[in-house]
Amino acid sequence: MMNAIPRSDVGRRGGDAAGAPLCLSAKEAAALCSVPVATLKTHGPKPVKLGRHNRWRVADLEAWVGGGKAAEQPAEDADEALHALEGLDL
């Protein structure tokens, strides 16, 4: 007798150990980032091609929304930027 796949697992997406998906469709990714799909496709991270489908990695989306490597700028660059702003009349 063959082991049947439980109905709860049919159509379930792959994901991490906690059950969160690793990749999202354009609509899901845009909703997660609170941006229109067009903005995601134009300015967002590059999708991964899975078969004929484009999918966005959750980790890439988190880095994009969080500023990615730009958020990790050296402290002296941040200090210089603040010093330059002090001289402006805002």
Dump the DSSP string for 1-70.
-PPPPPGGGTTPPPB-TTS-BSEE-HHHHHHHHTS-HHHHHHHSPPPEEETTEEEEEHHHHHHHHTTGGG
pLDDT band at 80 (very low <50, low <70, confident <90, very high): low
Q: How confident is the model at residue 67, as a pLDDT?
A: 84
How many independent structural domains does the chain possess? Answer: 1
For residue 52, tell me if it sits in a domain. Answer: yes
In this predicted model, what pLDDT tens digit does every residue of 14-48 receive, in sequence order? Answer: 666 677 788 999 999 999 999 999 999 999 999 99
Q: What percent of the chain has pLDDT over 70?
A: 54
State the average pLDDT for the chain.
74
Residue 84 lies in a domain: no
pTM score > 0.85 for this model?
no
64 occurs within a structural domain:
yes
Amino acid 38: pLDDT? 95
Domain boundaries, position 64: 20-69
